[in-house]
Amino acid sequence: MSVPTIPSFFEKDHRRLDALFENFQNLKQQDFSEAQSFFKEFKQGLEKHILWEEEILFPFFEKKSGISSGPTEVMKQEHSAILKALQAIHQKVAQRDLQTGAEEKELFEILMKHNLKEENVLYPMIETEASPMEKKEIFKAMDEIHEKRYSG
Ligand SMILES: [Fe+2]
Ligand SMILES: [Fe+2]
């Protein structure tokens, strides 16, 4: 099986998550249960995506490039803000509270800018740093994290 590029794999996951969030937003007034399950999938997927970045992708880049206080540090700070906004929506959704507009707007604004920075700057830098063998190892480690934390 051929190994995808880092930018193409992670960009695809950004778009997949965007679509799940959009489904939640579009459905929450009509079918709350359906919307709720889209939100659940979005939340799990986004948390997993952030874990891939913080535990595998960014440490690889920091070690390989010797740059640990630059772009990855900014991305990690943004992840905290993203997770905070995600949690705020989650708490309301768990109580079937539909008034999540302000929290959604906040999350959307941070996330869109964040994703663009990763796609335009960080992922291409990582792609340049990683040999084909290292990329294979990155994807393998991502699969293993997935099994460990999300199989049950
Ligand atoms: Fe990120
Ligand atoms: Fe990302």
Distance 104 CA to ligand 1 centre (A): 17
pLDDT value of position 145 = 86
pTM: 0.94
Quick one: average pLDDT of 93-111? 95
Q: What angle do CA 114, 146, 103 make, to 5 degrees?
A: 35
Mean pLDDT, range 43-61, rounded to an integer: 97
Percent of the residues in the chain that have a pLDDT greater than 90, as a whole number: 89
Span from the CA of 63 to the centroid of ligand 1 (angstroms): 18
pLDDT reported for residue 150: 57
Cβ(54)–Cβ(114) under 8 Å?
A: no
Mean pLDDT computed over 12-39: 97
Rounded to the nearest angstrom, the distance between the alpha carbon of 30 and the centre of ligand 1 is 31
pLDDT band at residue 1 under the 50/70/90 scheme: low
Distance 33 CA to ligand 2 centre (A): 27
Whose atoms come closest to the Cα of 74: which ligand? 1
Q: How confident is the model at residue 152 (pLDDT cuts 50, 70, 90)?
A: very low
CB 19 within 8 A of CB 88: no
